[in-house]
């Protein structure tokens, strides 16, 4: 049973007592008459071969309040499109599959690239962004929810708790971020525990309690991939295409939404998904790449707020981060012992060493290119530059699926 303590500047909605999924779903069925919901699933082709996705589809078969499922299918051949279509044929919801490698979709995106509006077409952020575009183009759903396709412990409770704060007509929230425990016989969530939280708190020591840092530190799981928002917010938010998606989304929401309209919701008793490799030797993959991307986005966000990162300030930050992370390990060691969990202290210390190098790399890249890769433009800008692009996108998705209707 979770506590009911409110921390930071963001409202926290706890999961208190036993799950009341049926009650939540009955309410959602009433609320979604006027606030239809679309679920966005960024999906790589290899996720079709894992057990998590069939479980998710089976759970969604029991969900009556969900209007549309939008699947952004990436790195897929035509055969993969057929497999995805067969798998999602079990759904009770209306399903829209965006074949990201389909010829019509690729052609539509080339028009954006030729107009200088799209610098990259890779990553989870891009898959989510194009799905937002299709939902906006159809003008059918007023709320978007997003979660990953690799959640091995998935239960429909997760989706209900994610959507409820944004769909409820009198709560007044426009954005809800999910959080949860990630525990098996040990603690998981290493990037959040040992990198993100110590980094944010170290930055507050070095640069002061800046409102953006206080806001980011208010989230109990800032790197969770689950969130829901009003469609109008999806229209104005710009997002990164890389591993900085989650923190970048929080920053854009901070810019475009009043704090009173933002909440975090506890989604489930426990959560597990595919675990990323550390990849300490190859900094272009795994958790090392993830931490580097995240740190770059955080540094650039603060630079955009007028904070100057001199060489001396960064060295202080690096030392402070390592000390803060090591102190955090001591706390987690005690917590693990208290709960009878396995805890490899040496491995945790080694992770901090890897993450500190990722932080150093992120700062060097910031010095070399302070602006970095541009964020994907928001949909308002796309519509202003190419007024009929929503129609083009909807037609491209339809034509790719119709032309390849049967193997």
pLDDT digit string, tens, across residues 327-361? 999 999 999 999 999 999 999 999 999 999 999 99
The whole model's pTM is what?
0.94
Give the residue ranges of DSSP H helices in 245-306. 245-256, 286-304
Closest C-alpha to 134, from 65, 72, 53: 72
Beta-bridged to residue 176, according to DSSP, are 228, 263
In angstroms, what CA-CA distances link 395 with 220, 339, 364?
40, 54, 43
Region 119-132 average pLDDT: 86
Highest mean pLDDT: which range of 64-78, 233-247, 277-291: 64-78
pLDDT in tens, 62-98: 999 999 999 999 999 999 999 999 999 999 999 999 9
State yes or no: pLDDT of 1 exceeds 60: no
Name the 3-class secondary structure at 182.
Answer: coil
Cα 245 to Cα 294: distance, rounded to the nearest angstrom: 8
Task: Classify residue 192 by its DSSP letter.
Answer: I
Does 280 have pLDDT greater than 60?
no
pLDDT in tens, 92-115: 999 999 999 999 999 999 999 999
Please name the residue that has the structure tokens 């009043």.
258
What is the model's pLDDT at position 339? 96
Mean pLDDT, all residues of the chain: 93
Q: How many whole angstroms separate alpha carbon 327 and alpha carbon 82?
A: 51
What are the strands of the beta sheet with 262-266, ordered from one edge? Answer: 11-13, 262-266, 175-179, 227-230, 143-146, 37-44, 66-74, 94-99
d(CA 307, CA 80): 46
Cβ-contact 242, 252 below 8 angstroms: no
pLDDT of residue 404 exceeding 80, the answer is no
Question: Which of 188-197, 255-264, 398-407 bottoms out in mean pLDDT, i.e. has the lowest?
Answer: 398-407
Distance in angstroms (rounded) separating the CA atoms of residues 92 and 151: 20
Spatial CA neighbour of 180 closest among 215, 147, 229, 213: 147
The one-character DSSP state at 49 is G
Number of helices (H), then strands (E), in the chain: 16, 8
* Residue 275, pLDDT above cutoff 60: no
Length of the chain equals 407
Query: Residue holding tokens 């010095």?
Result: 367
Q: Taking the CA atoms of the chain, what radius of gyration do you get in angstroms? A: 21
């Amino acid at each position: 049973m979770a506590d009911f303590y409110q921390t930071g500047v963001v409202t926290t909605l706890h999961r208190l007592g036993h799950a009341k999924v049926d009650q939540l779903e009955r309410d959602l069925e009433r609320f979604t008459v006027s606030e239809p919901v679309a679920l966005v699933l960024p999906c790589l082709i290899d996720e079709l071969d894992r057990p998590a996705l069939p479980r998710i589809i089976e759970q969604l078969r029991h969900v009556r309040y969900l209007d549309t499922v939008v699947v952004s299918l990436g790195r897929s051949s035509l055969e993969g499109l057929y497999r995805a279509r067969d798998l999602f044929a079990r759904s009770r919801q209306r399903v829209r599959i965006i074949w990201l490698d389909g010829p019509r979709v690729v052609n539509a995106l080339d028009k954006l690239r030729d107009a200088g509006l799209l610098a990259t077409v890779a990553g989870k952020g891009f898959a989510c962004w194009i799905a937002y575009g299709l939902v906006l183009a159809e003008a059918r759903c007023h709320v978007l929810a997003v979660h990953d396709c690799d959640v091995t412990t998935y239960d429909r409770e997760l989706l209900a708790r994610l959507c409820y704060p944004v769909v409820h007509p009198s709560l007044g929230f426009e954005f809800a971020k999910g959080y949860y425990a990630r525990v098996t016989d040990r603690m998981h969530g290493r990037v959040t525990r040992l990198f993100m939280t110590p980094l944010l708190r170290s930055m507050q020591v070095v640069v002061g309690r800046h409102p953006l840092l206080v806001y980011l530190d208010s989230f109990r799981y800032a790197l969770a991939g689950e969130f829901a928002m009003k469609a109008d917010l999806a229209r104005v938010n710009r997002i990164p295409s890389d591993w900085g998606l989650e923190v970048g989304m929080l920053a854009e929401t901070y810019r475009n939404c009043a704090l009173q309209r933002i909440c975090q919701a506890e989604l489930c008793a426990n959560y597990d998904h595919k675990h990323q490799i550390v990849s300490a030797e190859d900094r272009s993959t795994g958790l090392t790449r993830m931490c580097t991307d995240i740190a770059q986005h955080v540094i650039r966000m603060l630079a955009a707020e007028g904070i100057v990162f001199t060489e001396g300030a960064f060295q202080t930050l690096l030392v402070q981060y390592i000390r803060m992370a090591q102190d955090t390990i001591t706390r987690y060691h005690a917590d693990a012992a208290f709960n009878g969990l396995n805890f490899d202290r040496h491995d945790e210390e080694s992770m901090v060493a890897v993450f500190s190098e990722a932080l150093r790399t992120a700062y060097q890249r910031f010095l070399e290119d302070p602006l970095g890769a541009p964020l994907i433009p928001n949909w308002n800008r796309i519509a202003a530059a190419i007024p009929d692009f929503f129609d083009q996108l909807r037609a491209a998705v339809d034509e790719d699926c119709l032309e390849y209707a049967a193997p």
